Copies of this chain bind each other. A is one copy, B any other.
Amino acid sequence: MKPPLDFYFDFSSPYGYIASEKIEALAARHERGVDWHPILLGAVFKHTGGAPLTELPLKGTYARRDFVRSAQFHGVERFRLPSTFPIATQAAARLVLWLKGRDAMLAAATLHALYRAYFAAGVDISAPEQAVAVAVSCGVDGAAARAALADPAIKDALRRENEQAIAAGVFGSPFIVVDGEPFWGVDRLDHVARWLATGGW
């Protein structure tokens, strides 16, 4: 098995959600897995001076239109921009990091459930209880999940994940690294596909 693709994302990123629905099948066609890296774009933006797309003049208006169009373009039909957007994503990210250390399959299933809860069903997963409820629906133990969210070791793990992402050059979501080659945005999935097929060009 070749090394997995590194997939960096923020749970409040619409393009991250769309890409999360496509990346595993794309990777599998080239005998690759996906290593999921939930990060906080807010921490990255402190370093880069970036800002949430929808808060920018002109770009914000465009982005709201492009989110929906891009979801449809990629066949992610259930996308809907939540009424509360963007949101804090510490709880969701910590849950996934905690699960990654215990059960990678369950971590991936929970990650998809969290993303769909927010971007398809409009559930505010910034609330720890809502995030835990989504995890429980995937078979995660609720009491253990609540304990994990309060665990300093898990909080540290997320801080380290953010720092490692910045060190790796990550400045947005989704951000995909294939054998050291960086690709930013759901609009680079076609580049990723060609890179995987050809090993570079």
B residues in contact with A194, CB < 8 Å: 73
Known contacts A49-B57, A187-B188, A201-B72, A65 near B182 by CB under 8 Å: yes
Copy tally for this chain in the complex stands at 2
Interface size class of A (residues with CB under 8 A): 20 to 34
Interface residues of A, dominant DSSP: helix
Q: A157-195 interface mask toward B, CB cutoff 8 Å, 1 = contact, 0 = none?
A: 000000000100111100000000010110110110010
Q: How far is the CA of A66 from the CA of B187 in the complex (A)?
A: 12
* A contact set with B: CB distance below 8 Å: 47-50, 56-59, 61-62, 65-66, 69-70, 72-73, 166, 169-172, 182, 184-185, 187-188, 190-191, 194, 201
